[in-house]
Amino acid sequence: MTVITHPRRKSRLAGMIDSPGGISVGVALEQARANIEGLRGRAMSVVDAGIEALEATPAPTSLAETPARLDQVYRAATSLLDAAGPFELFDLCRAAAGLCDLIGAIDPEQPFDWRIVTVHARSLRLLQTLPPEAVQERARILDSLNEVIERKLGQPG
């Protein structure tokens, strides 16, 4: 039996972990928040593009077109969700996630009420433009969207 050995090199990261010092968790979190905040403008552009994509996706003209159109809507909603999440835009995330949940739960081979996509797109646009202090208005919008989803899925509210 032959045993091949080679000297193990320690990675730079392992060296940093093993050495005393470094930064505190609080400082690391603050630096991470600052780094993320620097990406806010780009993320808000992605959110806006996601809403625009939802608004622009035409309703399918045939049952055969439905799966492709729903896929477009799903991709737009997930991109919006991915961009809004790190910035704690929970209302936008909840509305987009609800639309994704609905699309994931239905049979794409069956007719789909496209008004749901239109209502979600308009609601997302409204949530995007409402000031943060409009808590009650935001809650009403989200409750209404949730009602739509529950009715379409046949689940009791």
Q: What is the pLDDT of residues 35-71, one digit of tens each?
A: 888 999 999 999 999 999 999 999 999 999 999 999 9
Q: What is the pLDDT of residues 59-109, one digit of tens each?
A: 999 999 999 999 999 999 999 999 999 998 999 999 999 999 999 999 888
b/e per residue 12-28 (b: at least 16 CB within 10 A): eeeeeeeeeeeeeeeee
- Confidence bin at 4 (pLDDT 50/70/90): low
39 vs 83: CA distance, rounded Å:
10
